[in-house]
Chain A
Amino acid sequence: MNFHNIACVYRKELTEWLRDRRTLISTVLIPLLLFPIMMVGFSSLAVIMIGKAEKEVPKIMVLGGEDSPKVVEKLRSLDNLEIVPSTDDWKQKISEKEIRAAVEIPKNFQASLERNEPETVQIYFYEGELKSSFGANRVEKFFKDYRENVIKDRLSARNIPGAILNPFDVKQENVAPPEKVSGAAMGGLLGYMVILLSMTGAMYPAIDLTAGEKERGTMETILSSPISRMDLVLGKFLLVLSASLSTAILSLISMGVSFALLGKSGAMSAKDAAVMQLHIGLPTVFAVFLMALPLAVLFAAVLLTIALFAKSYKEAQSYLTPMTFVVVIPAVASLMPGVELTSKLALVPILNTSLVCKEIVAGTYHWHSIGIIFSSTCVYAAAALFIAVKMFQRESVLFRS
């Protein structure tokens, strides 16, 4: 192994990589912009949409209620509802969003209340339509308040204190520190993002440095130089690894900034913001990266090997695209509720790292599992790198036609 030659190949590949506009877009620009656009953009849009829906005074149709003028009058007196005259095509009007909801007051509703007979007030709305839900909620709130008042009146008529209906309160209170709450909520996502992005970040350079070289005719040029094939593959591998890690790092920075901006933008309630806020210190970030490092090595070596086998850029892309699913499936599995780190799962590549990252972000360090995961992934990565070096020595792969 000649470190001078490895460094020489690495430096040259880095120079070419930084000059490639496609690389800069896929490795730098997209990871930097993805999260701000996704989080700040979408949440701001959601806030605007919700705000707009809340400001609207929904049109509500009252069906029936002619024999219950008191209730209807109270409904009409509300500022946040507009009662429209009832028609037979109320269902169609809800569907066509001409009115937001309709409320059906049963016959003799008021009389039934006075006789203490149970009745049902039916609210009709368009499920999944935000403005319709808001309208229906306001109507429902009105009737719940109305029911409360009826209960109060009935109790006071019988000289029974209102507290009889509420002998005690039940409350939930969180005792977990905020980083654990955020870890449980966001930790899985963090590990998933680091894993997925270190894979996607490696994909393009892996193709460019192997199948791309074959296609451009530079593979024979470099093979005619005195550099050993091992040094050549190691130089290329280090560049792919750098691309993979820099994509993951940039994405993390972008993600952190996006969460911070989201918390400050007022788009969420203070409680939600506290949960969403990742309470990550530098040691946690370092630990996550340390765990993701052998996985990034594994990705870089595997992608390099597969892409080398391809004759052209296009062929390499068709080989590597399904790899995304191979990575996404175990990473997503780790996000599923109830999937916990066990000694067997600690040996499953990708899934193990994703699970342990989730725990690390939540502030839990199971050193035994961490040791197994780190060393097993290192073994897989070393095996993949060994295969990559061997593949570079196979003429049938280098000159496949």
Chain B
Amino acid sequence: MIEARALSKRFQDKKRGEIRAVDNVTFTCQPGKIYGLLGANGAGKTTTLRMLATILEPTDGTAIVCGHDVVDQPEKVRANVGFLSTATALYPRLSAQEMVEYFGRLNGLDETTLKKRVDDIFNRLDMNGFRDRRCDKLSTGMKQKTSIARTLVHHPPVMIFDEPTNGLDIMTARTITSFIRECRDNGKTVIFSTHIMSEVEKLCDTIGIIHDGKLLTEGTLGQLRDKHAEHDLEEIFVKVVGPLHSNSEA
């Protein structure tokens, strides 16, 4: 489970002064559910997810991931999290197997367990054909599978996906979305960020719309439709974000 409690992040910019990338964001993600964080570019999605994955430290507020505080116990949080984004690349000079094994070892798996886990994942994701191939020689699809294997090797109960299908072709993107569903079906807590409405509609149990670092609204798709009197998610998004967006543009 993930509980974000008044999570905030401020950055100092030489030209623009203080920037509130994430401002007092509170939400909860339940096990066996997918929470979708929907927002435009620069809305604060990546910063929020990076704080949940303890890559960034919150300026104010905190989050509890699997019972561990992101501020006080970042290493324990990371041991329970699988983090995947298009920015999390692979080591080019390691083979697919070495890449997964490296992260398994960093997660404290002993060699026997690690070997079994790697074999299981490589069989399940149909990766045996390229397990000894260097990552810089892999196709985009193979790289995504290796990244998935890397996030899964330590059996994390929480999965965080930051715009995981960004820039991918349809087939590779489908591999990712089916993997996200599989995580949910296996009872994992899943949170993922995107700006693609169709992905949210297809995948998410709960949707949170974020803009200018603030969580403006959240609920199931049905709840959002009722609350904003619109059927189409894109229309709901525009209705929620639109006035603020025009203000920020002005």
Q: A residues bordering B, Cβ < 8 Å? A: 4-5, 8-9, 12, 15-16, 19-20, 216-218, 220-221, 223-228, 395-396, 399
User: A399 — nearest CB in chain B belongs to which residue?
Assistant: B56
One digit per residue, 1 when the CB lies within 8 angstroms of any chain A CB and 0 when it does not, for chain B 75-95 equals 110110101010111111110
* Minimum Cβ distance to chain A for residue B3 (Å): 20
Question: Is the beta-carbon distance between A224 and B83 smaller than 8 angstroms?
Answer: yes
Identify the stretch in B104-112, B165-173, B185-193, B239-247 within 8 Å (CB) of chain A at 4 or more residues: B104-112
User: A216 — nearest CB in chain B belongs to which residue?
Assistant: B89
Can you give 16 contacting A-B residue pairs, CB < 8 Å? A4-B105, A15-B93, A15-B98, A16-B91, A16-B94, A20-B93, A216-B91, A218-B91, A220-B88, A221-B89, A221-B90, A224-B53, A224-B78, A225-B106, A226-B78, A226-B106
B98 surroundings in chain A (CB, below 8 A):
12, 15
* Minimum Cβ distance to chain B for residue A227 (Å): 5
A220 surroundings in chain B (CB, below 8 A):
55, 85, 87-89
Question: How long is the Cα–Cα vector from A136 to B107 in the complex, in angstroms?
Answer: 78
User: B53 — nearest CB in chain A belongs to which residue?
Assistant: A224
Question: Is the beta-carbon distance between A224 and B93 smaller than 8 angstroms?
Answer: no
B81 surroundings in chain A (CB, below 8 A):
224
Question: How long is the Cα–Cα vector from A224 to B153 in the complex, in angstroms?
Answer: 13
Question: Is the beta-carbon distance between B93 and A19 smaller than 8 angstroms?
Answer: yes
Question: Is the beta-carbon distance between B89 and A226 smaller than 8 angstroms?
Answer: no
- Kindly list 14 other residue pairs between chains A and B, CB separation below 8 angstroms, not including A12-B94, A220-B87: A4-B108, A8-B106, A15-B98, A16-B93, A19-B93, A20-B93, A216-B89, A218-B90, A220-B85, A224-B83, A225-B103, A225-B107, A226-B106, A395-B57
A8-B102, A8-B105, A15-B98 known; A224 vs B91 contact (CB < 8 Å)? no
Question: Is the beta-carbon distance between B88 and A224 smaller than 8 angstroms?
Answer: yes
Question: Is the beta-carbon distance between A5 and B106 smaller than 8 angstroms?
Answer: yes
* Minimum Cβ distance to chain A for residue B50 (Å): 8
B56 surroundings in chain A (CB, below 8 A):
395, 399
- Residues of chain B in range 122-152 having any CB-CB distance to chain A below 8 Å: 134, 150
User: A215 — nearest CB in chain B belongs to which residue?
Assistant: B89
How many chain-B residues does the 8 Å CB contact rule pick out? 29
Q: Which of B57, B106, B134 has the most CB of A within 10 A?
A: B106
Question: Which of B79, B94, B108, B150 is in CB contact (< 8 Å) with A15?
Answer: B94
B150 surroundings in chain A (CB, below 8 A):
221
Question: Is the beta-carbon distance between B88 and A217 smaller than 8 angstroms?
Answer: yes
- Residues of chain B in range 25-84 having any CB-CB distance to chain A below 8 Å: 53, 55-57, 75-76, 78-79, 81, 83
A9 surroundings in chain B (CB, below 8 A):
106
User: A16 — nearest CB in chain B belongs to which residue?
Assistant: B93
One digit per residue, 1 when the CB lies within 8 angstroms of any chain A CB and 0 when it does not, for chain B 4-24 equals 000000001000000000000
Closest 7 CB pairs of A and B: A217-B89, A224-B83, A226-B79, A226-B78, A221-B88, A16-B93, A19-B93
B75 surroundings in chain A (CB, below 8 A):
226-228
Question: How long is the Cα–Cα vector from A228 to B79 in the complex, in angstroms?
Answer: 11
* Minimum Cβ distance to chain B for residue A310 (Å): 18
Question: How long is the Cα–Cα vector from A220 to B56 in the complex, in angstroms?
Answer: 10
User: A393 — nearest CB in chain B belongs to which residue?
Assistant: B57
* Minimum Cβ distance to chain B for residue A398 (Å): 8
User: B134 — nearest CB in chain A belongs to which residue?
Assistant: A19
Question: How long is the Cα–Cα vector from A6 to B82 in the complex, in angstroms?
Answer: 21
Question: How long is the Cα–Cα vector from A5 to B108 in the complex, in angstroms?
Answer: 8
A15-B98, A220-B55, A395-B56 known; A225 vs B78 contact (CB < 8 Å)? yes
Question: How long is the Cα–Cα vector from A87 to B51 in the complex, in angstroms?
Answer: 91
A15 surroundings in chain B (CB, below 8 A):
93-94, 98
A226 surroundings in chain B (CB, below 8 A):
75-76, 78-79, 106-108
User: A5 — nearest CB in chain B belongs to which residue?
Assistant: B106
User: B162 — nearest CB in chain A belongs to which residue?
Assistant: A220
Question: How long is the Cα–Cα vector from A279 to B108 in the complex, in angstroms?
Answer: 50
Q: Which of A4, A19, A225 has the most CB of B within 10 A?
A: A225
Question: Is the beta-carbon distance between A227 and B106 smaller than 8 angstroms?
Answer: yes
User: B80 — nearest CB in chain A belongs to which residue?
Assistant: A226
A8 surroundings in chain B (CB, below 8 A):
102, 105-106
* Minimum Cβ distance to chain B for residue A87 (Å): 70
User: A212 — nearest CB in chain B belongs to which residue?
Assistant: B92
* Minimum Cβ distance to chain B for residue A320 (Å): 22
B103 surroundings in chain A (CB, below 8 A):
225
User: B160 — nearest CB in chain A belongs to which residue?
Assistant: A224
Question: How long is the Cα–Cα vector from A8 to B109 in the complex, in angstroms?
Answer: 12
A20 surroundings in chain B (CB, below 8 A):
93
* Minimum Cβ distance to chain B for residue A5 (Å): 6
B76 surroundings in chain A (CB, below 8 A):
226
Question: How long is the Cα–Cα vector from A12 to B106 in the complex, in angstroms?
Answer: 11
* Minimum Cβ distance to chain B for residue A316 (Å): 17
User: B89 — nearest CB in chain A belongs to which residue?
Assistant: A217
Question: Is the beta-carbon distance between A216 and B92 smaller than 8 angstroms?
Answer: yes
Question: How long is the Cα–Cα vector from A20 to B53 in the complex, in angstroms?
Answer: 31
B106 surroundings in chain A (CB, below 8 A):
5, 8-9, 225-227
User: A223 — nearest CB in chain B belongs to which residue?
Assistant: B55
User: A218 — nearest CB in chain B belongs to which residue?
Assistant: B89
* Minimum Cβ distance to chain A for residue B134 (Å): 8
Question: How long is the Cα–Cα vector from A218 to B150 in the complex, in angstroms?
Answer: 12
Q: Which of A4, A226, A399 has the most CB of B within 10 A?
A: A226
